Amino acid sequence: MGRLDGKVALIMGATRAGNMGQAIAQRFIEERATVVVSGRGREGLDAFAAETGATAIPCDVRRRAGIEALADQVVERHGFIDIAVNAAATGSLAPFEEETEQQVDEMLSIIFKGGLFFMQAVVGRMKRPIGRGGSIINISSAVADIMSDDHCSYMGAKAGLNQMTRFVAHDYGKHGIRANILSPGLTLTPMLDGYNVPGLVEAYAKEYPLGRITTIEDIANTALFVASDECFMTGQTFHVTGGLTLRRNPTSEEIMASIAAAGVA
């Protein structure tokens, strides 16, 4: 028997191999959950489903009607939603005065509005007596709580997502629903493609008391605990960072110096 035996899990943001959503979905499947993966990219979802036995249902997290339809389909197929993980992601890197309206809109539409729509859809199907309670997990970021250069709108959107998650924890605990936040530090995922150059990881790793940056396996293992009935917590932020929040992110100047030392700049 697995730790999630008999549970139905919906994972949003599982379209790309090597991302957090797929890592979490894989870990849940290993613990015998019934898993539905979703996101905007059909090809990646189908490939993951073919490999693992998960169900793939495409959905754009920015569209409330689409998320409502997705949640209905999960319930129609499997009866319940016990676990809902929002790992939909996008990034933004720009000096504060140069951030464009398009960048800000993208942060708000995917991270803030998408997170709101996702939680609205799943709480309505988790609440008793319609559902049987459950666990909502939003993937946030350490930079919602600590500083990082050139990430203003991303930081703000993630901080807003955190506060909405706490609101759901406060309001829906009476329905048997827990809502928690996983906040990784720098993690090597497809979202980092194009930025991962020699020297970058080393600049960050110096600030981690445990000596290395976060992995997708770290996130998946923490998500397993938070999703399971073993977790008597709600409204909490789990900093999966190896102690980064005890210190700080490196500055832009420190990152560039580390890259230069690696012979790239």
pLDDT for the residue numbered 137: 98
Please tell me the least confidently modeled range out of 68-72, 102-106, 149-153, 163-167.
149-153
The whole domain housing 233 covers 8-193+214-246
Q: Helical H runs in 60-172?
A: 64-78, 101-107, 114-126, 152-172
Of 93, 38, 98, the residue nearest 69 (C-alpha): 38
Tell me which range, 90-94, 129-133, 199-203, 216-220, is most confidently predicted by mean pLDDT.
216-220
Q: Confirm whether 30 is domain-assigned.
A: yes
Sequence-distant (6+) residues with CB within 8 A of 139 are: 13, 20, 85, 86, 87, 89, 181, 182, 184, 219
Q: Check which CATH number belongs to the domain holding 232 and give it.
A: 3.40.50.720
Q: Does residue 163 fall inside a structural domain?
A: yes
Q: How many CB atoms lie within 10 A of CB 17?
A: 12
Position 109 in a domain: yes
The arithmetic mean of pLDDT across residues 81-107, rounded, is 92
How far is 221 from 20, CA to CA, in rounded Å? 11
Instruction: Read off the DSSP letter of residue 250.
Output: P
Q: Residue 257 falls within a domain, yes or no?
A: no
State residue 193's pLDDT score. Answer: 65
Percent over 70 (pLDDT), the chain: 97
pLDDT tens digits for range 155-195: 999 999 999 999 999 999 999 999 999 999 999 887 766 56
Q: Is the dihedral of CA 60, 63, 66, 72 positive or negative?
A: positive
Global model pTM greater than 0.85: yes
Is 236 domain-assigned?
A: yes
Reply yes or no on whether the pLDDT at 264 is more than 70: no
pLDDT digits (tens, 9 = 90+) for 107-153: 999 999 999 999 999 999 999 888 899 999 999 999 999 988 888 99
Residue 236 binned pLDDT confidence (cut-offs 50, 70, 90): very high
The contacts of residue 41 (CB under 8 Å, 6+ apart) are 15, 16, 58
Q: Please, which residues have CB within 8 angstroms of residue 253's CB and are 6 or more apart in sequence?
A: none
Counted domains in the chain: 1
pLDDT tens for 25-59 read 999 999 999 999 999 989 999 999 999 999 999 99
Is 263 part of a structural domain of the chain? no
Cβ pair 107, 153 in contact under 8 A: yes
Give domain status of residue 2, yes or no: no
pLDDT for position 198 = 85
* Res 195: pLDDT: 61
- Residue 99 belongs to a domain: yes
Q: Has residue 68 got a pLDDT over 60?
A: yes
- Mean pLDDT (the chain) is 93
